Amino acid sequence: MGNLVKYVGIGLLVLGLAACDNSDSKTTTAAAESSASAQPVSLLDGKVSFALPADMTDQSGKLGTQANNMHVYSDATGQKAVIVIMGDDTPDDLAALAKRLEDQQRARDPQLQVVTNKSIEIKGHALQQLDSIISAKGQTAYSSVILGKIDNQLLTMQITLPADNQQQAQTAAENIINTLTIK
């Protein structure tokens, strides 16, 4: 569980850094939307795969960590990010983990808005999805976290997008989640 907290903290750090970026993301977002092509990502020898928007690239080696169980993808501004972590399994159930994650997010952001906290199923695997709106330094971000247990490991997938338009961010996150496959 300590590793999960550490990795989620790293994810929130990436979110904080993205929120501090003063670049104009509207032109980047418009350019990304005009490019509808997606790029496939495959992890754990193909056991976990999903598709990312074309403007997101692998940034895993740029965080200064040697951990090979964390994968980071972001756009050029760092405002759109997907972080995938394969951590140690835990005896806690997914709903309890999501509630604990929500409590941790609320401790950092008292104005946290939980959009959804629900169980989902992908290819027979039970997962938990926690969607929220996070505020940091006057910026808001849409965060969608997927938790699941795969091959005695805890999968954490965090999708963070600018929440200038919540519906658009939610749709973009769902588009990534809908491509998620687990074997």
State the CATH number of the domain containing residue 172. 3.40.1000.10
Q: Is the pLDDT of residue 123 over 90?
A: no
Tens digit of each residue's pLDDT (9 = 90 or more) over 131-140? 999 987 788 9
CA distances from residue 45 to 48, 57, 135, 179, 183 in whole angstroms, order as listed: 8, 19, 36, 17, 10
Stretch 77-86: mean pLDDT: 91
Within a domain: 104: yes
* Domain around 124: 2-21+37-182
Strands 181-182 and 48-53: antiparallel
Mean pLDDT lowest among 11-15, 69-73, 162-166: 11-15
| Residue 13 included in any domain | yes
Residue 24 in this model has a pLDDT that exceeds 90: no
Please answer whether residues 92 and 43 qualify as being in contact, where contact means their C-beta atoms are separated by less than 8 angstroms.
Answer: no
Query: CB neighbours (10 Å) of residue 24?
Result: 9
Decide if 31 is inside a domain: no
Q: What domain count does the chain have? A: 1
- For residue 157, is pLDDT > 90? yes
Instruction: Measure CA 116 to chain center.
Output: 14
8 A C-beta contact, residue 43 and residue 84 = yes
pTM above 0.85, yes or no: no
